[in-house]
Structures are given as C-alpha cells and as structure tokens.
Chain A
Amino acid sequence: NAGVMQNPRHLVRRRGQEARLRCSPVKGHSHVYWYRQLPEEGLKFMVYLQKENIIDESGMPKERFSAEFPKEGPSILRIQQVVRGDSAAYFCASSPARQAHQPQHFGDGTRLSIL
C-alpha cells in the first residue's frame, strides 16, 4: 500500500510567484494535516482538513496561504505571492477517522525554496 505521497519533492519559486504543494493521503484516510518545518526547528501545525472541509486552520497565516481537500484528488496547500520567509519544508500527514491515539503517517515533504 502506498504511503502519503507529496509532490513535488523540491520546488523553487521567485518572490511574488505562487506555490502549489500536493498531498495524496494513504488510501482510505480521510484526515489530512499540513505542517511546516523551518530550518533547524521542529514541525509546526498549519491546518487540518477532512474531505471538503477545513476543520482547524489555527496554525495557518491569515494571508496568502490556503488549503483544500476536495472530494476527488489530492489535498493542495497554496501559497500566493511567496516571500523569502516561506522557504521551508512542508509536510503532509494523514490518518483514518479521528483517532487520537494513532500515529500520523507523514509524506517525505516538499522543500520550498524562494529566490
């Protein structure tokens, strides 16, 4: 069974461009989480989605960032008008129906570099 798939693995953008990061959860998982990791730091929660619903976006910047998890297709994290400070590794994780005591399965991450 395939794990969480993220693409691209590496993404380079110039300041002001848009970045789209994709995440396909483990088959059968309906919960998706996005995290951001700045260099030499731990992962920080951004947003939690279920199919077609944003459940918790308390960790996501209010401007330029958006996330979706449509009924069909992968979850998308979208960053508009990127700035140098957006350079980070972005990880997606998935889990089955709400289970507090199950591990989240992470993808390999997308390394976003802003020139």
Chain B
Amino acid sequence: AQKITQTQPGMFVQEKEAVTLDCTYDTSDPSYGLFWYKQPSSGEMIFLIYQGSYDQQNATEGRYSLNFQKARKSANLVISASQLGDSAMYFCAMRENFGNEKLTFGTGTRLTIIP
C-alpha cells in the first residue's frame, strides 16, 4: 500500500483563488510528522509547512495552511489567494518516528496558476 497518496496529478487555478491539494497517508506509527514541499521549475525543494500527529491545531504558515484530519488520515494543503509564483510541483511527505527519520514522498501535484 502507498504510504502517501496524492490523487491530483495536475491542477489549474485562477489567480487569487484558494486551492486545496489533497494528501492521504497510511501509517501504524502513533508518532509521525507530515510535511509539504514545493518544487518550482528550477528544481529546488522548498519546505512549506509541517503538522505533527499530536498537534491539536492545524498548522498555518502565511498563505499556507494544513487541513489535518487524523481520523481520515488526510493532510491537505490549502493555499489562499494564489499567485502566479505558486505554479510548481507540490509534494506531501511523511516522517515516521520508527522509520529512521527518512521522508516518504507522494507522487506530487503540478499546480498551474492562470492569470
């Protein structure tokens, strides 16, 4: 079974609209962390936001927020007021406490912002 599933290969969103990128995960580890990374066309991996399995509140970082639904094992990324510079690949990743700290990545979502 896939540990991280991103079901949206590509999305097109009008500038200034909000967008939700889906991510579901699978783990039996009670302690884990969920991360979102952005990879623009230049190729670098940019850390966006983190959610811990024991965190009571959803994480927020500027225009990024994480809609964490633990019972459903989902950790969707919400980008508010999208900008042209948000066009990129977005990867959801999980780090399990018993997994030697390595990150397991999803296959990514290519987001394109339309002016």
Q: Using a CB–CB distance below 8 Å, which chain A residues touch chain B?
A: 31, 33, 35, 41-45, 48, 55-56, 59, 89, 91, 93, 95, 98-109, 111
Contact = CB atoms under 8 A, between A and B. Distances in A.
Interface of B: 4, 31-33, 35, 37, 43-45, 47, 50, 52, 91, 93, 95-97, 100-108
Contact of B103 (A35, A98, A99, A111): A35
Given A33-B102, A48-B101, A89 B107 contact: no
Contacts, number: 67
Contacts of A42: 4, 91, 105-108
Given A48-B101, A98-B101, 10 more contacts: A42-B108, A43-B45, A45-B102, A100-B95, A100-B97, A103-B35, A104-B95, A106-B37, A106-B45, A108-B43
23 contacts: A33-B102, A35-B105, A41-B108, A42-B91, A42-B106, A42-B108, A43-B45, A43-B93, A43-B105, A44-B105, A59-B102, A93-B103, A95-B101, A100-B31, A100-B32, A100-B97, A103-B35, A106-B45, A106-B47, A107-B44, A108-B44, A109-B43, A111-B43
